[in-house]
Amino acid sequence: LLREIHHRVKNNLQVIISLLNLQASKADKKTRKVFLSAQNRIKTMAMIHDAIYEEGMEVDMQTYVERLVHNLKGRYKLYNTNFKLNCKVKFNLETAMPLAHLLNELLTRFIKNVPPTKLGIEVKEYNGGYQLIISSNRAPTAGGGGRYPFVRALIQQLDGKLQTKNNGAKVIIKFKELKYKRRI
């Protein structure tokens, strides 16, 4: 039953993406960017629901990040960017959803204007918690992401701490896995 619910949610998210795409095609350039940003965030949710549907109640982050990178390579035509991935951990939905959004937001900031030639993404266990490390040979044009309200909110949701190095070319976020909160 739960798998069926996730499958239906994923399908509904695809319908929303299609509706946004239709609206974006009729909008001016500035408004189209807003629609595309919303689409990308919804695609992130759909990818997590897809992972839950395929894998059960834990999301394999290596598989998710590989899919995200594949999606970003196509969207931003990243033919000259070499990605190095090391994300061999699994998380529950409570942690995977905000972490997926955080990855999407940060990676988009790293590659949007001037894509780097090297980009490393690592999620690993660290001191009884976890670390997300994104490192690049080029800092994003607007820093490492701490200035963006959505990024800050996601870090806060993960009860995380943000650290940047090399003028934002390296972002480290320490966080703990969130516990499932019963809602009924």
Report the SS3 class of residue 174: strand
Residue 115: is its pLDDT beyond 90? Answer: no
| pLDDT tens readout for residues 53-109 | 777 778 999 999 999 999 888 888 888 889 999 999 999 989 999 999 999 999 988
Average pLDDT for 129-141: 91
Alpha-carbon distances of 49 from 59, 75, 96, 127, 165, rounded to whole Å: 9, 20, 10, 29, 33
- Rg value, the chain, Cα: 16
List all residues 6 or more positions away from 71 whose beta carbon is below 8 Å from its beta carbon: 43, 47
Provide the whole-model pTM.
0.82
